[in-house]
Amino acid sequence: MVFSSMTFLWIFLPILLGIYYISKEKYRNTILLIFSLIFYSWGEPRYIILMIFSIIINYILGIILDKSKTTIKKRIILVIAIIFNLSLLGYFKYFNFFASNINKIFNITIIPIKDIALPIGISFYTFQIISYIFDLYKNEIKVQKNILKLSLYISFFPQLIAGPIVKYHDIEKQLNSRETTIEKFAYGIRRFVYGLSKKVILANSLAYIADYIFDINVSAINMPIAWLGAVCYMLQIYFDFSGYSDMAIGLGKMFGFDFMENFDLPYLSNSITEFWRRWHISLSTWFKEYLYIPLGGNRKGKIRTYINLSIVFLATGFWHGAAWNFIIWGIYNGLFIVLERIKLKNLLDKNKFKVINYIYTLLVVLVGWVFFRANGLKNAIKYLKVMFIPKNEVYYFDYSKIINNRYILIIFISILFAGIVQKLFKKLKNREKIMKFYNKYIESIVILMLMFICIIMLASNTYNPFIYFRF
C-alpha cells in the first residue's frame, strides 16, 4: 500500500483516523501499531515476520545492554546488535551483488545466485533500530521496556517504507505522550496534500519523460534529449522523495508526532557540502551521528577527516542500492565533498558571482543523478558521453511521444517550485502579510483544487511507485 493510492486515501486512512480519535489515549499506540503492521503486510505479507523477528531480537538486546554493568559487556552487546541488523540487511539487499561479482572475478559460479526479494523499507527501519541500540549504548536514552512502544517506533507506517529516518532520541518522549490539537491536525492535512500533489501531479508526469528516455537504447538519443531526460529525472526524484517526506510528516502531525524535516530546497545550494545538508537530511544526520563521528569525525587531523568523509559517502552510495552505479554515485559525491573541504569550498565562499556556485552545484548533482538513474554503470557512462560529447550523426527522435503542452507546463512549474519561487518569495517585504492572507482566504481553496486534481489523475492510472521504495 502506498499513500498515493485510492485504498489508502479512501479506506485505510479514514478508518484509522476514526478509530484513533474515538479511542482512549492509552489504546492509541496499540491502534497505530496494529494499523502499521497491516499497512506493511498489505504488500509484503511474508516479510512482516522478518520485521517482528527483528523487533523481538533488538528488544531483548536492548534489555541486556541496559543491564550490562561494564563497558566491555556493553560494547559486546552493541557489536552483536550491529552485526545482527546489518547481517539481515546485507543478506536481503547485498547477497546477490557480492555473489555475482565474486563469480565474475573467478569466471565460475562459486556462489549460486538466489531468488531473494528485497523487503520494502528494510534499509530505513534497520537504521532506525541501530539508532535505538546506539543511543542506548551511549546512555542518551532509557531502555524501552514496553515492546509495543518499541515496535511502534520501528514500524510506524508514515515513515516506515521511505523515511524520513527517525532517530529514537528524537521520538522517545512522543511514544509516551504527545499532543493532538485541531491546529496540528489541520497542518498535517495541508502538508499531506502538498506532498501528494508533488508526487502525483509533478513527479509522476516527470517520470513519464525520464523513464522513456533512460529506458531506450542510449544510441537512439542525442544531446538535447539526454539533457532533457537528466533534468526531468533530477526534478522527478526531488518531488517524488520530498513529496513522500511531506506526506509522512503530515501524517505524523495528524497523530501527534513531530518528525524532522527531510528537505530544505536542496537545488538552491551553493556547494555540494550545502546540498547534502539540505537533501535527505535524516540520512545525512544519521550517517553523521552513527558513522562519521564514531570514526573520529574531524577530530583526528585533516587526512583522517578526508578518509572519514570518503567512507561515509561510500556507505551512502552502497546504502541506496546493491549496484556499482550507486557505489560510484556515492564515491563521486564524496570526492566533491573532500575537494570542497580541502580548498574548493573557500573559493566558492569568496566568489562574488553566486550564480557560478549554483551552476557548479547543479551540474555536479545532475551528473550524479545520471549514475543514480541509469540502468547500470556502463549505461550511465554512455549516457554521460551523449550529454557532453557532441556527434555529427543525424538522429530521428519522435518528440511528440514525450513532449506536449502539458509536459512543457509541468517542467516549467517544477523548475519554478524546486526553489526559485520560494527564494523570490523570501525577498518580498510584505511576505508575512501575504502569507496571512493566503492562509486565511486562499489556502483552503488551493488544497481542495490540488486534492481534486490528484484524485482525477490517480483515477486515470497516472501513477508509479515511489523511487525510494526500492531502497
Query: Contact 59/146 with Cβ under 8 angstroms?
Result: no
In this predicted model, which residue has the larger pLDDT, 220 or 67? 67
Mean pLDDT score, 3-30: 92
Q: How many CA atoms lie within 13 A of 339 on its CB side?
A: 12
* pLDDT > 70: percent of the chain: 96
List of residues 6+ apart from 136 with CB closer than 8 A: 62, 65, 66, 143
Q: What digits encode the pLDDT tens for the residues 402-447?
A: 888 889 999 999 999 999 999 888 888 888 888 888 888 898 999 9
CA distance 50 to 52: 6
For the cut 60, the answer to whether the pLDDT of residue 385 exceeds it is yes
CA distance 80 to 93: 20
pTM more than 0.85: yes
Q: Which residues are catalytic?
A: 320
Mean pLDDT score, 360-376: 95
What does the pLDDT read at residue 7? 87
- Residue 269: which of 163, 340, 196, 166 has the closest Cα? 340
Domain residue ranges in the chain: 6-177, 184-459
CA distance 334 to 331: 5
What does the pLDDT read at residue 464? 63
- Enumerate long-range contacts of 366-372, CB under 8 Å, 24 or more apart: 366/230, 366/231, 366/234, 367/332, 368/329, 368/332, 368/333, 369/230, 369/233, 369/234, 369/237, 370/230, 370/233, 371/325, 371/326, 371/328, 371/329, 371/332, 372/237, 372/320, 372/325, 372/326, 372/329
Chain centroid to CA 215: how far?
23
For the cut 60, the answer to whether the pLDDT of residue 265 exceeds it is yes
Q: The cell 569568496 sits on which residue?
A: 350
